[in-house]
Amino acid sequence: MSTLTSNRIKPFRKTITVPGDKSISHRAIMFGSIAEGITTIEGFLPGADCLSTIACFEKLGVQVERTSATSVRVVGKSINGLRQPASILDVGNSGTTIRLMMGILAGASFSSTLVGDSSIGKRPMDRVVNPLRQMGAVIDGKEDGRYTPLTIEGSFLQGITYQSPVSSAQVKSAILLAGLSASGTTTVLEPAVSRDHTERMLSAFGVQVNRQFNEASIKGEQQLSATHVTVPGDISSAAFFLAAALMVPSSMITIEKVGLNPTRTGIIDVFRAMGAEVTVDEQQESSGEPIGSITITSDGLKRIEIGGELIPRLIDEIPIIAVVATQAKGKTIIRDAAELKVKETNRISTTANELRKLGAQIEETEDGLIIEGPTPLQGGICDSHGDHRIGMAMAIAGLATEEAVVVNGADAIQVSFPGFYELLKQL
Ligand X SMILES: C=C(OP(=O)(O)O)C(=O)O
Ligand Y SMILES: O=C(O)C1=C[C@@H](OP(=O)(O)O)[C@@H](O)[C@H](O)C1
Binding site for ligand X (CB under 6 A): 22, 49, 94-96, 316, 343-344, 389, 416
Residue 389 annotated as binding site:
yes
Q: Residue 235 and residue 218: Cα distance in Å, rounded?
A: 27
Comparison of 315 and 377: residue with beta carbon closer to ligand Y: 315
Helix ranges, 106-162 (H): 126-134, 142-145
Task: Please check whether residue 274 is in contact with residue 302, taking contact to mean a CB–CB distance below 8 angstroms.
Answer: yes
Comparison of 289 and 316: residue with beta carbon closer to ligand Y: 316
**Using CB distances below 5 to 8 A depending on partner kind, what does residue 389 bind out of ligand Y, ligand X, none?**
ligand X
Give me the sheet containing 277-286, strands edge to edge: 13-16, 252-259, 289-297, 277-286
Q: Is 316 in the site for ligand Y (CB under 6 A)?
A: yes
Q: Which span sits near ligand Y by CB under 6 A: 39-47, 151-159, 165-173, 378-386? A: 165-173
Comparison of 291 and 399: residue with beta carbon closer to ligand Y: 291
CB of residue 351 to ligand X, shortest distance in Å: 12
Comparison of 23 and 186: residue with beta carbon closer to ligand Y: 23
Report the residue closest to ligand Y, judged by CB.
Answer: 23
CB of residue 183 to ligand X, shortest distance in Å: 30
Q: Which run of H or of E encompasses 3? A: strand 3-6
Residue 168 annotated as binding site:
yes
* Strand 3-6 versus strand 405-408 pairing type: antiparallel
Q: Is 339 in the site for ligand Y (CB under 6 A)?
A: yes
Residue 23 annotated as binding site:
yes
**One residue of 96, 186, 351, 401 binding ligand Y per CB under 6 A:** 96
Helix ranges, 296-368 (H): 318-325, 347-356
Residue partners of 71: CB distance under 8 A and separation at least 6: 40, 41, 42, 44
- Through-space distance between the first and last CA atoms of the chain, rounded to whole angstroms: 25
Task: Please check whether residue 335 is in contact with residue 309, taking contact to mean a CB–CB distance below 8 angstroms.
Answer: no
Residue 384 annotated as binding site:
no
Residue 331 annotated as binding site:
no
CB of residue 120 to ligand X, shortest distance in Å: 8
Comparison of 238 and 399: residue with beta carbon closer to ligand Y: 238
Task: Please check whether residue 379 is in contact with residue 373, taking contact to mean a CB–CB distance below 8 angstroms.
Answer: no
DSSP 384: -
**Using CB distances below 5 to 8 A depending on partner kind, what does residue 168 bind out of ligand X, ligand Y, none?**
ligand Y
CB of residue 379 to ligand Y, shortest distance in Å: 29
CB of residue 316 to ligand X, shortest distance in Å: 4
Q: Which residue from 424, 419, 412 is spatially nearest to 383, judged by alpha carbons?
A: 412
Q: Residue 225 and residue 214: Cα distance in Å, rounded?
A: 26
Residue 122 half-sphere exposure, CB side, CA atoms within 13 Å?
8
Cβ neighbour number for residue 86 with a 10 Å cutoff: 7
Q: Is 168 in the site for ligand Y (CB under 6 A)?
A: yes
Q: Is 315 in the site for ligand Y (CB under 6 A)?
A: yes
Q: Is 25 in the site for ligand Y (CB under 6 A)?
A: no
Q: Residue 340 and residue 393: Cα distance in Å, rounded?
A: 15
Partners of 370 in beta bridges? 333, 363
Exposure b/e, 46-79, CB count within 10 A at least 16 = b = bbbbbbbbbebbebbebebeeeeebebebbbbeb
Q: Which of 49, 316, 383, 387 is catalytic?
A: 316
CB of residue 390 to ligand Y, shortest distance in Å: 13
Comparison of 169 and 248: residue with beta carbon closer to ligand X: 169
**Using CB distances below 5 to 8 A depending on partner kind, what does residue 339 bind out of ligand X, ligand Y, none?**
ligand Y
Q: Which residue from 70, 34, 26, 21 is spatially nearest to 226, judged by alpha carbons?
A: 34
Instruction: Tell me, yes or no, if 316 is annotated catalytic.
Output: yes
Cβ neighbour number for residue 273 with a 10 Å cutoff: 15
Comparison of 6 and 317: residue with beta carbon closer to ligand Y: 317
CB of residue 161 to ligand Y, shortest distance in Å: 19
Residue 316 annotated as binding site:
yes
Report the residue closest to ligand X, judged by CB.
Answer: 95
Contacts (CB under 6 A) with ligand Y, residues 169-208: 169-170, 173, 194-195
SS3 of residue 179 by DSSP: helix
> For the chain, how many helices (H) and strands (E)?
13, 26
Binding site, annotated residues for 3-phosphoshikimate: 22-23, 27, 168, 170, 316, 343
Q: Which residues are catalytic?
A: 316
Binding site, annotated residues for phosphoenolpyruvate: 22, 95, 123, 170, 347, 389
List interacting residues with ligand Y (CB under 6 A): 23, 96, 168-170, 173, 194-195, 315-316, 339
Binding site, annotated residues: 22-23, 27, 95, 123, 168, 170, 316, 343, 347, 389
